[in-house]
Structure 1
């Protein structure tokens, strides 16, 4: 009678013969999760080759020896298998520290010269390792990612507008790794900052380690087959010297996009190279918007040669090859969920974000910043490649900014149990630039834990100001922070206080005196949510976020303004000589 152990042994042998888990499931009738559990617990991937061969030979010998009547061919096979077992036994002795004589008894140290070096080839991905990477890659991707993979070789340009956090960067990094290892083609990744570019690199390294136990090193990563995986930020001075398949991440957040596109498309000018652009939406005023809508294609063309693209979600949800030669697709959070993505609790997200934020971040709707206090252009002008520009900031050091002073701003959410906190390094000179060093989002933490986190910040930074919204639920945190930082400032929100903070932040940002990392698109989102409004009685101008009147959205923006409120008023005027500050 066949037992579960028999299935386990047979499944292992089939796996070592090159069958994939779905194929073994079909052959044996054992569920996939069970096979994956056996694979992990018995460590099928790490078994030495000689062990795999021995067990396969042993299984076949047992089959033959159990036969009551053996043919001549059976007896010949038994003899051949027995010799093979003897051979594997000698290999085992050799692997356990033996010498060449263990492999061939007729040879007694014939080669007394220096042994050939067994040094491992750098970044080598053997065929069996590549197969494991491919299998792991395919087992993890969702339906919309399978569509991207299918379109990879069908269309030269893929242009994807996507929801936040649906795994696009993760997917494309793995797609590129498999393609580089398979074809030897270069893969070029471009991001808004060096930090973002290294997200690509980290995903590539993690995939090779996770699925094949291969250590990939270097920047760029160079494979033995000649393929290079190149990770660039938009300010790279060497971008034009590369060529290969191109991936441009979050392109709706890249400054001077048209200049970048000219350089980037030049790297992939040859017909064999593919271009992939993907991003969450930003503003309709961004330079990349005409590239998405197709109006860029029409510039300089005769009227008869122009096109009118329908880039609505209805038209592009399933993907479409457009008249300008680009394959476009829109993938909202609901689309992702419908195609297998189970990473989100959408109802909870609706509690954490205003309808306007939900539409922009997760439903692929562009922001019209016409009514926002802070314009998209002036906010993106504050974005810098912090890894390159801030040489005095060491985020992993015990004292990241040494003895330089910092300001902290904190704001609790009124719609969920999370809170936002920012750390700002003020300019050391009047009228200089302030820098947002850290942005923190605390979810599911009570007042004690949040206050403890701020206390930790005071221990690694020289904190001179902490601004806290204590209007309602923030009062508990404020009371605790006052115990270890008596100078903490609490804000009881009213139209006057809001106006003071917003106008001061507007003065700083509009004069180009704020910097934060290029990858922090959520900071831009938050600031764009701040809009002018009238009080409930209609008699006074105030400011609010989102489409409600509670001012409880864009917590990151309010946290920033609590920190910047410590800046002297009209610093920029002092810097231009209009106003002297003594």
Structure 2
């Protein structure tokens, strides 16, 4: 059957294309010659000269489709099936044409896919500016901010007109959260720089984490450190507001200027030196200074600033001022004669102002009376009777992110295979004392620091549960020593962990006596006074725990002992005791490496 209406009527040379089509459809040269009334050698010559065998598959498909289309197009009476086939063949021809364009030099994916080819067509939307807030986003964010404030936070916001604010607060009432939000709103609206100082880089970055989260509420992704922020509320030619997040290394803080926020300023070391630099950042009258913190001790260098005594130094008697810093005077906030606006917000004030995040009765049960007063009622600690000096302890705080490059807390093996020492002070079910586990990197060189890698408080667990928890924590480390107070519940914990199959080496039994406690205190005093205890500056519980240990007389009145919180009255010191279980594994003078673990009876 002929593929054309009448191929025999064509001159021999014009039968060349029909011959090629038949060849590509699988006909032999002899069949083609007979069908088209051609000489065999003629067909063979065409096939050789035109290289029919070398044609790409796509060209053969196109020829077949075109031939079939010609047949259907020339058909006078078409059926529904013919039209359906015509449409399908047309789409196939278009698809093959796209493939040809893609394979040609300069081809791209848009040649195959119309959606890809047209994705850049039409009016282009302007790309969103980095770290930029529109007027609508700024208004929405401020509305969210103002809508969620508790009463005491509203007082802080109302006090923005005061150049210096100093706030004494209970823990966990949302101060860092509030001031991060306040600073972001100010940066958006005014373009002023914002500077955040904290006891460590990690603590300063809590501000950053909050600010990034706030911006996401209105669809803005903030990046950078320092963070540069612009908004439609300010002229485009103005410089971006800079947000800096700094630890207490005041040398890195020099040269900045802007509003500054000093977080937990009652817990930083070298407050005087750092405050000189911080105050210099806000020398111009347009900048604000905001100090906020939980209280530490009356021995801290910031305490005279709070009471006003620092201002009165070197002033004549007639120029001195008296500042009432009692809770009654500062519950609602008040500006003193030194122009500082002070405010005290304890946990009862927070509850009264709408903060319903606490079960205060449960907290009173969980903490000893003086510890609750310090942490939640804004009472300063008088450490004059403490066995340890507050200022010595604060000096031991370090910025672990900056300094401990060999420790990776989120890794499966945070300290690799290097040895660690651990200490455990068990829970006392009779006194309600908490339990505490601490994990240390021992000194790498003689006289080097003991570095606190982890500390974990425990409460409400029986001895088997305590042992299980300890095994789980130490499984991530190469623990070569674990000192356990084996008194009471601790005896059961010790027995479970001292078994050969516990997976913990160097489990050491410690039984308290007047002599043992005195030796532990003496060793800890020696280590701390020489700055050999190192912990993250945000671990203020370490400082509080040691300060709560006081020198006292025994019941007989004949001997001196040390007591804190084991009866639930003077503040829990479980963390300090667990740390001392580790420190005692080194000889008292620290000059000789411990050759083996020991059992203290």
State the TM-score bracket (shorter-chain normalisation). 0.7 to 0.9
How far the C-alpha of 1:236 sits from its partner, in A, is: 4.5
Conservation of the 8 A alpha-carbon contact between 2:227 and 2:243: yes
How far the C-alpha of 1:99 sits from its partner, in A, is: 7.4
Indicate whether 1:282 and 2:289 are aligned.
Answer: no
| Matches for 1:410-429 after TM superposition, within 5 Å | 410-414=424-428, 415-416=431-432, 418-429=434-445
The TM-score with structure 2 as length reference comes to: 0.73
How far the C-alpha of 1:466 sits from its partner, in A, is: 1.0
Distance 2:170 2:549 in 1: 22
Q: Which residue of 2 aligns with 1:439?
A: 455
Conservation of the 8 A alpha-carbon contact between 2:390 and 2:547: yes
Give the 3-state SS of the residue equivalent to 1:374 in structure 2. coil
Among 557, 560, 570, the residue aligned to 1:538: 557
Give the 3-state SS of the residue equivalent to 2:439 in structure 1. strand
Residues 90-119 of structure 1 show CA distances to partners (whole Å, capped at 9, x for unaligned) of xxxxxx999799xxxxxxx7x8xxx75743
Cα separation, partners in 2 of 1:302 and 1:136, compared to 1, 3 Å = same
Distance 2:478 2:138 in 1: 49
Q: Which residue of 2 aligns with 1:138?
A: 146
How far the C-alpha of 1:446 sits from its partner, in A, is: 4.7
Among 199, 214, 219, the residue aligned to 2:220: 214
Q: Which residue of 2 aligns with 1:239?
A: 253
Q: Which residue of 1 aligns with 2:357?
A: 343
Q: Which residue of 1 aligns with 2:522?
A: 503
Q: Which residue of 2 aligns with 1:475?
A: 491
How far the C-alpha of 1:257 sits from its partner, in A, is: 1.1
The TM-score with structure 1 as length reference comes to: 0.75
Conservation of the 8 A alpha-carbon contact between 2:151 and 2:353: yes
Conservation of the 8 A alpha-carbon contact between 1:290 and 1:296: yes
How far the C-alpha of 1:504 sits from its partner, in A, is: 1.5
Structure 1 unpaired stretches of 5+: 1-95, 102-108, 575-582
Distance 2:493 2:255 in 1: 53
Among 352, 364, 375, the residue aligned to 2:366: 352
Q: Name the stretch that deviates more: 445-454 or 265-274.
A: 445-454
Distance 1:140 1:478 in 2: 49
How far the C-alpha of 1:140 sits from its partner, in A, is: 2.7
Indicate whether 1:518 and 2:532 are aligned.
Answer: no
Distance 1:382 1:155 in 2: 34
Cα separation, partners in 2 of 1:547 and 1:511, compared to 1, 3 Å = same
Give the 3-state SS of the residue equivalent to 1:392 in structure 2. coil
Q: Which residue of 2 aligns with 1:555?
A: 574
Q: Which residue of 1 aligns with 2:235?
A: none
Residues 340-362 of structure 1 show CA distances to partners (whole Å, capped at 9, x for unaligned) of 12222222222222212112111
How far the C-alpha of 1:417 sits from its partner, in A, is: 8.0
How far the C-alpha of 1:435 sits from its partner, in A, is: 0.9
Cα separation, partners in 2 of 1:130 and 1:497, compared to 1, 3 Å = same
Distance 1:236 1:295 in 2: 24
How far the C-alpha of 1:552 sits from its partner, in A, is: 7.9
Cα separation, partners in 2 of 1:122 and 1:487, compared to 1, 3 Å = same
How far the C-alpha of 1:390 sits from its partner, in A, is: 1.6
How far the C-alpha of 1:245 sits from its partner, in A, is: 1.0
Among 516, 523, 529, the residue aligned to 2:548: 529
Residues 193-249 of structure 1 show CA distances to partners (whole Å, capped at 9, x for unaligned) of 11111111111112222x224321111121134112110111143422211111001
Cα separation, partners in 2 of 1:569 and 1:444, compared to 1, 3 Å = same
How far the C-alpha of 1:488 sits from its partner, in A, is: 1.4
Residues 542-563 of structure 1 show CA distances to partners (whole Å, capped at 9, x for unaligned) of 2110494888821111111112
Residues 420-453 of structure 1 show CA distances to partners (whole Å, capped at 9, x for unaligned) of 2111111022222111111112345554443333
Conservation of the 8 A alpha-carbon contact between 1:434 and 1:515: yes
Q: Which residue of 2 aligns with 1:201?
A: 208
Structure 2 unpaired stretches of 5+: 1-114, 232-239, 594-601
Give the 3-state SS of the residue equivalent to 2:475 in structure 1. helix
Distance 1:167 1:565 in 2: 39
Q: Which residue of 2 aligns with 1:464?
A: 480
| Matches for 1:319-330 after TM superposition, within 5 Å | 319-330=333-344
Among 178, 187, 190, the residue aligned to 1:171: 178
Cα separation, partners in 2 of 1:138 and 1:419, compared to 1, 3 Å = farther
Larger C-alpha radius of gyration, 1 or 2? Answer: 2
Q: Which residue of 2 aligns with 1:223?
A: 229
Q: Which residue of 2 aligns with 1:298?
A: 312
Indicate whether 1:379 and 2:387 are aligned.
Answer: no
How far the C-alpha of 1:418 sits from its partner, in A, is: 4.6
Give the 3-state SS of the residue equivalent to 1:128 in structure 2. helix
Aligned-residue RMSD, C-alpha: 2.5
Conservation of the 8 A alpha-carbon contact between 1:413 and 1:419: yes
| Structure 1 moving runs of 4+ over 6 Å | 96-101, 549-552
Distance 2:381 2:434 in 1: 24
How far the C-alpha of 1:472 sits from its partner, in A, is: 1.9
Conservation of the 8 A alpha-carbon contact between 1:418 and 1:445: no
Conservation of the 8 A alpha-carbon contact between 1:355 and 1:547: no
